[in-house]
């Protein structure tokens, strides 16, 4: 693959994987390591959760993150907070202007309500999160409000939410430097009933880099 995807990262690359369209991914990331997610083909929502590695009852909290930064959007410098009020990770770089904290994850239930009964069998982010969780002793109750990287959820003046065309493009990325040892869980969103993936789910790339001996 094109190694310009490593620009700006620490020089030791521990993980470099492509997450197929519609697929889940999870992995442990240590404090001090950087997780980069690359929107390979553009306009691809990446649903995302974090759990403390030592005790997964501590996990990413949208409420604590929004309250701590007094803003609903995630940008460079944003700190992802846990439900214990501790910093889990910081956005150290992103080539997309902002990311969503409030749009949530798609599910077969919400698809059915929004788009009709014929969409009930469509694969959804909640299914992906559950696939990951079941491998690690977690269940549906552990799926909390998630981040949507690369997704554009504007809030109108009257408070109405939209899910509109993305602001991302091929090769754009977000870098997260971890503040604690975590498990990161990704659903590469399979939604085809609204524009969050341009009606065409595509692969993303996951890179984990650290300050160990250079691998490149
Ligand atoms: Zn989704």
User: How do residues 135-171 score in pLDDT, each as one tens digit?
Assistant: 999 999 999 999 999 998 888 889 898 877 778 899 9
Report the separation in Å between the CA atom of 189 and the middle of ligand 1, taken as the mean of its atom positions: 4
User: Among 11, 5, 6, 7, which residue's Cα sits nearest to residue 212?
Assistant: 11
Report the separation in Å between the CA atom of 126 and the middle of ligand 1, taken as the mean of its atom positions: 7
For residue 13, pLDDT beyond 80: yes
Report the separation in Å between the CA atom of 149 and the middle of ligand 1, taken as the mean of its atom positions: 11
Neighbours of ion ligand 1 (CB under 5 A): 106, 125, 189, 191
For residue 1, pLDDT beyond 70: no
For residue 2, pLDDT beyond 70: no
The Cα-based distances of 133 to 25, 120, 164 in angstroms read 10, 21, 29
């Amino acid at each position: 693959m094109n190694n310009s995807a490593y620009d700006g990262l620490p020089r030791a690359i521990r993980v470099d994987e492509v997450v197929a369209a519609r697929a889940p991914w999870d992995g442990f990331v240590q404090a001090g390591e950087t997780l980069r997610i690359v929107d390979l083909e553009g306009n691809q929502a990446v649903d995302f959760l974090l759990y403390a590695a030592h005790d997964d009852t501590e996990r990413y909290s949208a409420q604590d993150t929004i309250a701590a930064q007094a803003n609903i959007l995630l940008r460079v410098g944003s700190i992802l907070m846990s439900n214990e009020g501790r910093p889990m990770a910081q956005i150290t770089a992103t080539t997309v202007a902002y990311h969503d904290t409030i749009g949530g994850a798609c599910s077969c239930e919400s698809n059915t309500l929004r788009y009709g009964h014929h969409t009930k069998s469509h694969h959804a982010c909640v299914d992906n999160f559950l696939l990951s969780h079941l491998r690690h002793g977690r269940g549906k109750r552990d799926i909390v409000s998630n981040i949507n990287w690369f997704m554009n959820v504007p809030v109108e003046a009257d408070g109405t939410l939209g899910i509109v065309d993305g602001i991302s493009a091929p090769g754009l990325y977000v870098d997260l430097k971890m503040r604690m040892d975590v498990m990161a869980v990704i659903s590469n969103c399979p939604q085809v009933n609204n524009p969050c993936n341009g009606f065409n789910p595509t692969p993303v790339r996951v890179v984990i880099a650290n300050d160990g001996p250079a691998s490149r």
